[in-house]
Structure 1
Amino acid sequence: TAGIFYGLQTLRQLINNKEKLTSPCVHIEDRPRFQWRSFMLDVARHFKNTSTIKQLLKEMSQLKMNRFHWHLTDDQGWRIEIKKYPKLTEIGSIRSCTQSGGWKSMKYDYTIHEGYYTQEEIKEIIQYANERHIQIVPEIEMPGHASAAIASYPSLGCNPQQQINVPGKFGVHYSVFNVANPQTMEFLENVLEEVIDLFSTSDVIHIGGDEVQYDQWKSSTEITTFINEHNLQSPADLQIWFTNKISNFINGKHRRMMGWNEIIGGSKLHHYTTESDILTKEKLAQNTVVHFWKGSLDLLNKTISQGYDVVNSNNKYTYLDYNYNRISLEKAYNFDPIPEKLLEEYHSKILGLGCQMWGEWISTVDKMNQQIFPRVAAYAEVGWTSLKNKNYQNFQQKLASYFYKQWSKQGINYYKL
């Protein structure tokens, strides 16, 4: 069972690292503070091979983290084999160039970047995760962050006559799925069916839903007509309508849908969204897990007051692509998924936390490991340890006496503080 497995991880950390293995005589009562303790890896922007994934899963298990959130698709790459739609990997997994030097840079590396996981490789990784009591949460982005899919099958987009390439530029792109087209909905359901069948032990399917630029929807006669015919108020209303259709499909497969907090609608979280864009009368499906990454405490309170379960991944505290000046180890350690001023009646609706390794500017495994380690250990402790038992100095000592040595043995290039 998971309890025995986690107990063994604790014991491993207690055993003295000497020729003669010894452990202090102790009685331990231990349980996690939160049920959801996740690490996310973005492989769409920069592909990581299966051995890298397995090493991360191994380290997660030793830290008693229990959810691997696998960001498999985005504008810059489609990384999962879908048997019914082979062009997703034949075309969507390859880009001809990659932006370098930062968000505003005009520099590009013209080395071809490619890679995807076959379904057999994914099955192997799922088994590896299951053996370590880690459940994988696969993420298939929709309706935005869809450029790689639309480059593969242009009919899925709002301008079906236009052939686009898998973009090498990072940031938010305009290409979004045409959700008014029944064939697009059929495509997404077919993709999700393969994903759900493949990830048979996963009870949550993440559909992204973040950063949808509504320009293409607003300029499409087909979509504006659809909005009017369905008595919807805005593009955000259409997104909720679409998300609920996807939720119904996922629920019908006995799974639960999760998405970034834009899927609720009604909030102006981005500069490219107008006030009229976000008017909503549709209500997001009640059993959705809302992945909160951006917004105020008031918005978090509002989300939970409407009855939604929340995983707190506030970007100001949990984004591993941010440098250590922006999110120090101590800041990561002091993150509380339950904000201090969150109404007490809502505390139980916070399922836990996630930390996210976004990959735009993290091209190598060494650089990735520097960003992840040691901060991932801080997030693991946030998810596991009760507030009264947390102590940053003790945590630092544990890193020095155990984890730094273990990571060095594993060849993990952790960040030297």
Structure 2
Amino acid sequence: MRLPTSRDPRCPFDPPPELRGLPPMSRLEFADGHLGWLATTAEAARTVLGDPRFSARRELKHAPVRFTTPGETGRPAPPGFFGAMDPPEHTRYRRLLTGQFTVRRMRLLEPRIERIAADHLDAMAAAGPPVDLVSAYALPIPSMIICELLGVPYEDHEFFQDRSLRLVAAGGDVARATADLAAYLGKLVGRKRAEPGDDLISGLTADLTDEELVNVAMILLVAGHETTANMLALGVFALLETGTPYEEGAVEELLRWLSIVQLGAPSRAATQDVEVAGTLVRAGETVALSLPVVNRDPALFERPDVLDPARTEARRHLSFGHGVHQCLGQQLARIELRIGYGALFERFPGLRLAVPPDQVPLKQDGAVYGVACLPVTWG
């Protein structure tokens, strides 16, 4: 089979129907003709992501679809692109960065996130409905926070939003966007070395080269706001369209039910023969994961297709990955989502879609699933 590159717009929150009901490991024809595998259960996915016999090195992997990002070009990862490395190279970067993303440090950001959310809600109220929730609220919150964490002047945030969107959107000029970001970040690193501040880049200047810092910052900058912004907006769309009231604890269920990372990411290459869910994966074969299907695994979740904010087992989802490459910023994302959803629905309890659901434009055929804009109103 070939991997579907988008979801059915008639069922915008469900996995592609072609991927439902498959065995745990199914043969998959990759974009370059490689015959690999697709993992569709939580057990298989955890094995692939957690077993050291599977490699994240991009020069060993095959891309499941004709879509490339800086981490999927078939060449060895440059210094700093730790997500496409294995231990011990990956371990070195991970240890340096883990101290920057502790639970305690992320919780210290809560008052700032609450202030940013309140300011943008004030602006929405002043402008009056209807508004596009993506540009007015969902995108600015994580964008401002990651810029502050990295020490990027917020007046440059529109530049970063544009370039990061090009990196994850199908058909985007990835090479140009990468070059633009690298050039800007190179200058920023130079300024941080000359005049260090209280930010993540300054804190790493003693341990990393300029090239490493630029690439680490690029990964964190893009991952730090593109995914969270899409989750904020798509989560609101899901709650409004299904008529599900928001309640405390809904964040984990929305992360599970929506699974915005698609197109077979992440994937791993077997470095030796490995048995996965009763299937022998040969050395050299690539295994792609379907997170939207994995997170609807009936062996792990009761009534998996139902959006249930009270679901107690929702945190078992794999939306942040598993194993040594589990998302560094997951605690920050959780805090931003919890504050973002809670503040929005508390301020506008009568929030509703301003257009019919089928007129909400979806971000299809990209690495991160979401809505291009979300017109909402209240009254």
TM over 0.5: no
Which is higher, the Rg of structure 1 or of structure 2?
A: 1
Higher helix share: 2
Higher relative CO (Cα under 8 Å, sequence separation at least 6) belongs to 2
If the length of structure 1 is used for normalisation, what is the TM-score?
Answer: 0.24
